Amino acid sequence: MSTALWVVIPAYQEQARISGALHALARQQDTDFTLLVVDNGSTDQTAELVHAFAREAPFPVELITEPEKGVGSAVDTGFRYAIEHGATLLARTDADCLPRPDWTAAARAGLVESGGLVCGRVLARPDEHGPVGRAVFRLLVVLGAGFGRIRPAHRRRHGYLVPYRMHAGNNMAITAQLYLHVGGMPRLPSPTDRMFINMVRRHTTAIVHRRDMISRNSTRRIRAYGVVGTARWYLERGAGTRSVDPR
């Protein structure tokens, strides 16, 4: 069976950060993958930076545009494009994340082992906010994960096959077969992570967590929303009146 891996990055107005994500992927130990960037209608230099990177990247790089705004739409378009072009394994990170050098290797290993969905470990970037900000970020992630596990709507009596697990859309991998089976990513603005993990939980028990699959997240949401607003986000209350794309 072919195990063609594609890495998908949705991007919108990310000229300040996408180069970091691209070069982090160039440093991967496993570079046997195709990178697909889905530009969600950027008007800055995001696309130009991707084109420049593609000329020297150690793997194939493709760039497509999804005009329908929303990370869900960008991810769904990207995953379906990758599958149509031969992908059997799919991994996703975001344009403001820094995948660790063994990230793609861990994603591939997790997919081959589980045959389903792999959830990576959520950590903060080391270059934003300093030690205090990273500690706050860790606390918010723990609170969000704990709330998700005890939330009544997530209990198995509602038709779920496995207990709830916090799923970070910017650090995940899934087989193409399962992605199509569950119907794909909801074509909505963020947050779509909870909706998607619950869709998967209704279809399979093949959901694993890999602590060694690390793509460090931006903490810019804390700066944009404040601690309380970010806590509401991680407690699945959404962005409220704020933009879902904090910059």
Q: What is the CATH number of the domain that holds 161?
A: 3.90.550.10
Domain presence at residue 244: no
pLDDT of residue 241: 53
Does a structural domain hold residue 204? yes
Q: Is the preceding omega at residue 191 within 30 degrees of 0, hence cis?
A: yes
What is the model's pLDDT at position 191? 74
* Residue 131 placed within a domain: yes
- Edge-to-edge order in the sheet of strand 171-175: 61-65, 33-39, 5-11, 89-93, 171-175, 117-121, 207-216, 98-99
What the block records as the tokens of 247 is 């910059």
Q: How many domains does the chain have?
A: 1
| pLDDT reported for residue 221 | 65
User: Quick check: 209 and 171 in contact, CB under 8 A?
Assistant: no
Instruction: Answer whether 0.85 is exceeded by the pTM.
Output: yes
Residue 14 in domain: yes
Residue 152: its H or E element: none
Nearest to 41 by CA among 65, 64, 70: 65
End-to-end CA separation in angstroms for the chain = 42
Residue in 175, 31, 191, 164 with CA at minimum distance from that of residue 104: 31
Which pLDDT value is given to residue 156? 85
Structure tokens at 212: 């060694």
Which residue is it, tokens 């890495």? Answer: 7
Any domain includes 164: yes
Cα 132 → chain centroid = 24
Domain coverage including residue 67:
5-234
Asked if residue 241 is part of any domain, the answer here is no
Q: What is the pLDDT of residue 1?
A: 40
In a domain, 65, yes or no: yes
> Per DSSP, what are the bridge partners of residue 61?
35
**Helix, strand or coil, per DSSP, at residue 140:** helix
CA distance 25 to 233: 28
The pLDDT of residue 206 is: 97
In this prediction, the residues of the chain whose per-residue pLDDT falls under 70 are 1-2, 147, 221-247
**pLDDT at residue 219, rounded to an integer:** 80
